[in-house]
């Protein structure tokens, strides 16, 4: 809350991260699985004497290098840029707590990027056995980056009681490994590895679907079928691993999903339930399409078929990541920092001394209630809501008058466990005067027709 707020009209702040992240995950997970794919494909070709595979794998490695080394790296930087503007406090926590982890990740990333470049440019220029070793070096380095990043990502959902017990004391770094190997670390790692393997197969299908059947008929059949088999582990094991992951998620975080599932018969879907169902259905469709069009009829498998599978994989990846982010609510770091960047331990202090009092960037000379209310909205609401776009406050409040808005703010401020907003929205913090100014500002978003000015102090 000590930073200026970035405003993005229309889509709002969450989707800035979401749009970048969905495409980045499609590429970054391919960077891990694709490295294993290339190394294992080259090894298989050497072992079985399939010299016809080598030029085709070289072509795929060029596509792999461009997609992961350029688009993957740029979108990764884009995520850092976005989260630094949208969630600066949470980003600061990750940087300070995982300095050692980020250092390790960057070392492996440099090895990964360098070995990928060497791997492509040394086809037919160095002995085949040495070239394969370069491929394995890349594959191992890329898996190591996933191992490290996974610990930091899962920390945001389940930092663990050991780390939470020292949060805010300055001794957090002493609990680095407790935070890293948090409750959801291992099931999440297995899930991501399965996704990496399946995306390796999906992207390989994109490359090999373009092979001319007349020229590369037998090679296309073998490579398309072998690439399709890379999807099998994910579709066989993922339900069991997901059950393991769900068992490790705190009960409060699963409440929204369980609520939607329990009322599914009456059609009362929650947003997160819709997204989870979309993930399940699109994932199952990927499996069906890949089997029917790629594995059974590899000679007729076309770029159009491959694009369809890729699009379905994008939907599955996007919906799964959306659900993973959504179950963190109302926190951005579980039980430590709310999604509006207010730390749990700061709530009582801000309610007593004022929210804006502790903001280094809030103007100190505000005298108008609308100015104070607008600043409160930007600091406490805009990380999830917009005025008239995604999660529109105008739409949410359009049927509520001044008094009803005050009642909503009172519920959010008190944050009682029986409140309908308790599990999904952070508490509104601040002095009674600040919350009243926020009420005045929100009421002004939908001014009553032919009425005078909204209520003031």
Q: Domain ranges in the chain?
A: 12-335, 344-443
Q: What is the mean pLDDT of residues 278-285?
A: 89
Residue 363's pLDDT band (cuts 50, 70, 90): confident
Residue 365's pLDDT band (cuts 50, 70, 90): confident
Whether 220 shows a pLDDT value over 70: the answer reads: yes
Work out whether the CA dihedral 262, 267, 270, 276 comes out positive or negative: positive
Whether 64 shows a pLDDT value over 90: the answer reads: yes
Q: What is the mean pLDDT of residues 210-237?
A: 94
Q: What is the mean pLDDT of residues 386-401?
A: 93
Distance CA 89, CA 95 (A): 10
Q: What is the mean pLDDT of residues 90-115?
A: 94
In this predicted structure, what is the pLDDT of residue 2? 59
In this predicted structure, what is the pLDDT of residue 274? 77
Distance CA 434, CA 426 (A): 16
DSSP 337: E
**Strand residue runs (E) in 208-258:** none
Q: Which two tokens stand for residue 124?
A: 């037919």
Whether 268 shows a pLDDT value over 50: the answer reads: no
Fold classified for 344-443: Cytochrome Bc1 Complex; Chain D, domain 2 (1.10.760)
Q: Which two tokens stand for residue 309?
A: 């599978």
In this predicted structure, what is the pLDDT of residue 260? 54
Q: What is the mean pLDDT of residues 240-255?
A: 88
Q: Which two tokens stand for residue 435?
A: 């919350």
- On whether the CB atoms of residues 79 and 91 are closer than 8 A, the answer is no
Residue 360's pLDDT band (cuts 50, 70, 90): confident
What is the percent of the chain with per-residue pLDDT over 70, rounded to a whole number?
Answer: 94
Distance CA 331, CA 336 (A): 7
Query: Minimal CA–CA distance to 5: which of 299, 356, 411?
Result: 356
Q: Which two tokens stand for residue 397?
A: 């409040």
Question: Picking from 248-262, 397-411, 417-431, 433-447, which range would have the lowest pLDDT averaged per residue?
Answer: 248-262
83 CB-side CA count, 13 A: 18
Q: Which two tokens stand for residue 364?
A: 């100190």
Distance of CA 453 to the CA centre of its chain: 43
Q: Which two tokens stand for residue 90?
A: 């949470």
Helix, strand, coil percentages in the chain from 3-state DSSP, rounded to 5: 70, 0, 25
Give the SS3 label for residue 440. Answer: helix
Q: Higher confidence at residue 361 or residue 97?
A: 97
Question: Picking from 94-98, 176-180, 240-244, 417-421, which range would have the lowest pLDDT averaged per residue?
Answer: 417-421
**Strand residue runs (E) in 147-244:** none
In this predicted structure, what is the pLDDT of residue 258? 66
Residue 37's pLDDT band (cuts 50, 70, 90): very high
How many CB atoms lie under 10 A from the CB of residue 309?
26
DSSP 49: T
In this predicted structure, what is the pLDDT of residue 452? 47
pTM for the model stands at: 0.92
Q: What is the mean pLDDT of residues 172-199?
A: 96
Whether 331 shows a pLDDT value over 90: the answer reads: yes
Residue 355's pLDDT band (cuts 50, 70, 90): very high
Where do we find the tokens 């749990």?
A: 344
């Amino acid at each position: 809350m000590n930073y200026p707020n970035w405003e993005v009209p229309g889509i709002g702040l969450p989707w800035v991260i979401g749009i970048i992240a969905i495409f980045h995950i499609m590429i970054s997970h391919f960077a891990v699985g694709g490295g294993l794919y290339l190394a294992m494909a080259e090894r298989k070709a050497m072992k079985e004497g399939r010299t016809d595979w080598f030029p085709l794998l070289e072509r795929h490695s060029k596509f792999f290098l461009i997609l992961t080394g350029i688009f993957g790296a740029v979108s990764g930087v884009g995520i850092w840029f976005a989260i630094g503007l949208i969630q600066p406090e949470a980003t600061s926590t990750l940087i300070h707590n995982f300095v050692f982890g980020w250092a390790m990740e960057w070392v492996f990333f440099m090895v990964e990027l360098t070995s990928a470049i060497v791997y492509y440019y040394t086809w037919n220029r160095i002995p085949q056995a040495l070239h394969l070793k370069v491929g394995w070096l890349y594959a191992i380095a890329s898996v190591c980056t996933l191992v490290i990043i996974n610990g930091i990502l899962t920390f945001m959902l389940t930092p663990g009681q050991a780390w939470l017990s020292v949060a805010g004391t300055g001794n957090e770094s002493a609990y680095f490994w407790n935070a890293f190997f948090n409750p959801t670390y291992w099931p999440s790692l297995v899930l991501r590895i399965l996704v990496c393997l399946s995306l390796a197969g999906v992207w390989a299908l994109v490359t090999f679907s373009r092979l001319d059947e007349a020229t590369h008929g037998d090679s296309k059949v073998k490579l398309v079928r072998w690439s399709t088999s890379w999807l099998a582990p994910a579709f066989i094991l993922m339900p069991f691993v997901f059950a393991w992951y769900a068992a490790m998620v705190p009960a409060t975080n699963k409440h929204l999903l369980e609520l939607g599932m329990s009322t599914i018969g009456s059609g009362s879907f929650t947003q997160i339930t819709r997204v989870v169902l979309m993930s399940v259905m699109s994932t199952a469709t990927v499996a069906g399409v890949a089997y029917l069009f790629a594995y059974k009829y590899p000679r007729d498998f076309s770029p159009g078929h491959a694009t369809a599978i890729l699009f379905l994989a994008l939907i599955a990846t996007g919906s799964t990541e959306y659900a993973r982010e959504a179950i963190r609510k109302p926190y951005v770091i579980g039980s430590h920092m709310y999604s509006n960047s207010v730390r749990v331990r700061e709530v009582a202090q801000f309610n007593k001394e004022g929210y804006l009092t502790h903001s280094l960037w809030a103007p100190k000379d505000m005298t108008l209630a609308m100015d104070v209310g607008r600043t409160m909205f930007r600091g406490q609401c805009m990380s999830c809501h917009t005025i008239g776009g995604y999660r529109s406050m105008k739409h949410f409040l359009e049927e509520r008058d001044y008094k009803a808005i005050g009642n909503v703010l009172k519920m959010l401020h008190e944050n009682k466990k029986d409140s309908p907003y308790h599990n999904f929205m952070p508490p509104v913090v601040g002095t009674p005067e600040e919350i009243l100014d926020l009420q005045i500002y929100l009421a002004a978003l939908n001014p009553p027709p032919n009425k005078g000015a909204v209520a003031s102090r």
